[in-house]
Amino acid sequence: MNDTVDDPVDGRLAFATTEATDISVLPKRLVRRPHILQIVAGDVAPRTIPLTQDSMSVGRSNEADIRIMTADLSRMHMRIDRTRRGFKCFDMDSRNGVFVNEVRVHSAVLRDGDLIQLGNVALMYHEGS
């Protein structure tokens, strides 16, 4: 058991071991946070979508992995692939385009906090671990 000493030296916390720690109660591996898309604007917001597959499509179609029923979206509007450089979004020849941080892109490697705009739908990308 580790006890915090109530009387810290120089304002720092100090620890004193009084018993051996039982490591069997510790997690066997670090918990990984998934990469996620967070819908932050549009009719279907707020919503959080974990990127659990290596390739996921976004659009109005029944066939889309992430189906968003909004007139601004094409049937197959955008694809997001896991690549060795990180997740990457691709415009699937959509009518209204894919904008990353207000720049219309054909494709873009995504970084934490990027805002993806598809018509009136805005999605924020969060990098996992």
Partner 1 sequence: MSFLVRFWGVRGSIPTPGLQTHRYGGNTSCVELEVDGVRFICDAGSGIRELGIDLMEEGPKPLTAHLFFSHMHWDHIQGFPFFTPVYVPNNHFTIWGPRTGDRRFARLLGGQMRSSYFPVDFHDLGGTISADDLGDGERVIDGVRVRVFHQHHPGVSFAYRFEKNGVSVVYATDSEIDLDLDDPELPLRDPGALRGVPQDLVAFCRGANLLIADGQYTDEEYPKVVGWGHARATTIVDLAVLAEVEQLAVFHHDPMHTDEEISDLIGHCQQRAASHGSDVTVFGAREGFELRLDRPPGRRQTQY
Residue 106 CB neighbours (<10 A): 10
Q: Which two tokens stand for residue 115?
A: 């805002």
Residue 112 CB neighbours (<10 A): 11
In the complex, the smallest distance separating the C-beta of residue 116 from partner 1, rounded to whole angstroms, is: 12
Using CB under 8 A as the binding rule, whether residue 101 contacts partner 1 is answered as: yes
Which among 58, 77, 74, 54 is positioned nearest to 66, based on CA atoms?
A: 58
Using CB under 8 A as the binding rule, whether residue 103 contacts partner 1 is answered as: yes
Using CB under 8 A as the binding rule, whether residue 104 contacts partner 1 is answered as: yes
In the complex, the smallest distance separating the C-beta of residue 91 from partner 1, rounded to whole angstroms, is: 7
Which among 41, 66, 46 is positioned nearest to 119, based on CA atoms?
A: 41
Q: Which two tokens stand for residue 1?
A: 């058991």
Using CB under 8 A as the binding rule, whether residue 96 contacts partner 1 is answered as: yes
Nearer to partner 1, 3 or 104 (CB): 104
Nearer to partner 1, 42 or 56 (CB): 42
The footprint of partner 1 (CB under 8 A) covers 85-86, 88, 91, 95-97, 99-109, 111-112, 117, 119-120
